Amino acid sequence: MKQIKLTCRIQKKEDHYSLKLPADYQQAMHLLMKHCFEKKGGFCSFSISEPKTKKSTGYKSQNSHFHGHCASIAEDTGQPVEDVKKYLKAQAVGRGYPMLMKDDEPLLDFWGQIQGESMSDITSEQCSMLIETAHQFADENGIRLIEE
């Protein structure tokens, strides 16, 4: 399935709105529209949404907050940090964290459990879900997390 995901600016001229494509996407969009015209009967799918706020990174960021909690939980439980992260992401799916998908179906791990998506492109809201899941896990298991 060919697709392009991007954030672009909306322009208003009188009562009409249009999308201003970033220059580096114009060629890709042209090729995709040509493909749809020639191979898909001139039809394409289009969706539009509000831009998403990326999670914060760096010192004292959401990213550091979550990874620090994972390290504390791993130290307390004796589990590898990566296993703690994977477990917490799967648990956060119940809060609305995105599931890892393949061909529009949840991609289960070897044991048949759902998996949370990689953190590479998550929003600040989704990172908050992970942090809250870590807090809940720690509370339920008597683990003291350090908030800096």
**33 and 90 housed in the same domain:** no
pLDDT of residue 1: 52
Q: Are strands 16-20 and 101-102 parallel, antiparallel or unpaired?
A: unpaired
* Residue 134 and residue 69 in one domain: yes
**List of residues 6+ apart from 133 with CB closer than 8 A:** 88, 91, 92, 95, 97
Residues 47 and 69 in one domain: no
Tell me if the pTM is above 0.85.
no
Closest CA to 79 of 137, 126, 127: 137
In a domain? residue 87:
yes
Q: Which amino acid is at 80?
A: P
Domain count, the chain: 2
- The answer to whether residues 78 and 110 belong to one domain is yes
What is the per-residue pLDDT across 85-102, written as a single tens digit (0 to 9) for each? Answer: 999 999 999 999 999 998
Cα separation, 128 vs 90, in Å, equals 14
- Inside any domain, residue 127: yes
Domain assignment of residue 56, yes or no: no
**What DSSP line would sit under 57-116, residue for residue?**
-STTSHHHHHHHHHHHHHHHHT--HHHHHHHHHHHHGGGTPPBPEETTEE---TTS---B
Which tokens hold the place of 122?
């998550």
Residues 133 and 66 grouped into a single domain? yes
- Classify residue 88: in a domain, yes or no: yes
Phi, psi of 38 (to 5 degrees): -80, -35
In this structure, are strands 16-20 and 105-106 parallel, antiparallel, or unpaired?
Answer: unpaired
Instruction: For the beta carbon of residue 2, count every other beta carbon within 10 angstroms.
Output: 11
1 and 22 inside one domain: yes
Are 95 and 132 in contact by the 8 Å Cβ rule? The answer is yes
Same domain, 10 and 74: no
**Is residue 97 in a domain?**
yes
pLDDT beneath 50: ranges in the chain: none
Same domain? 47 vs 68: no
Q: Do 10 and 72 reside in the same domain of the chain?
A: no
Domain range enclosing 111: 62-140
At 121 the pLDDT is: 80
